[in-house]
Amino acid sequence: MKPLLLLSLTAWCACNTRPAAHKKNNTVQQDTHAAVSRNYDSCKNAVLLLKQQYKNKWLRLTVAEKQKIFTNAVTGTIIPCWMGTPWSFNGTTETPPQGSIACGYFVTTVLRDAGVPLARIKLAQCPSEQMIKTLVQPRYITHFSNSSMPVFMAAVRQQGYGMYIVGLDNHTGFIYNNGQHIYFIHASYIGERKVTKELAAESSILYYSKYKVLGKISGDEQVLQKWIN
């Protein structure tokens, strides 16, 4: 089979959601907010175009190929738009970086806007383990109780490339294994309190969570089939 040609969606959609320097004029603010919304819409439309590109040949692709397309769409197109969006416990914004976003809403909004059919509000308000079980089949879910970080990291490396949802004691986010590095992407409630991407091995939130639930959403063929449709 010929190598897949993945679109450079991040560049194509030009999803630069950072508004220009703050101005007090309300009209200018409204125009800026409208521009932000249009830019984010272009990112979501880019994912739709990608799905259309592959839909007719989806069944002929390997699981590894499908996983790469899906993971690239989420981590390379939708998630970059959210970087730096403020966190708040009650945040529910649907347009980055306007307003604020809570950790559960970050996960469900990203997945929904990447094309995964789900109940955004209901799942965002669930305990993270329940959210993961709703989205990912049991065979793609791993539980860790009082496990050390080296054990957790080794498990992610063993499961390989792809995107995961991780549920913690009081938090949730994405684990992204790009084959070389493992990242924790989440709406962080510590430090600068914003959506951030950090090396998973260096995350204090991951380190201190006694309970971890890891769901490999990019490896679940049911999710991949729902996504392409």
Q: What's the pLDDT band for 19 if we cut at 50, 70, 90?
A: very low
Banded pLDDT at 170 (limits 50, 70, 90): very high
**pLDDT at position 34, please?**
52
Per-residue confidence band for 136, with pLDDT thresholds at 50, 70 and 90: very high
pLDDT in tens, 139-166: 999 999 999 999 999 999 999 999 999 9
Q: Locate the domains of the chain by residue range.
A: 25-228
Question: pLDDT tens across 35-75, in order?
Answer: 555 699 999 999 999 999 999 999 999 999 999 999 999 99
- Residue 191 to residues 188, 195, 196, 228, Cα–Cα distance (Å): 8, 11, 10, 37
Count Cβ atoms below 10 Å from residue 167 Cβ, excluding itself: 27
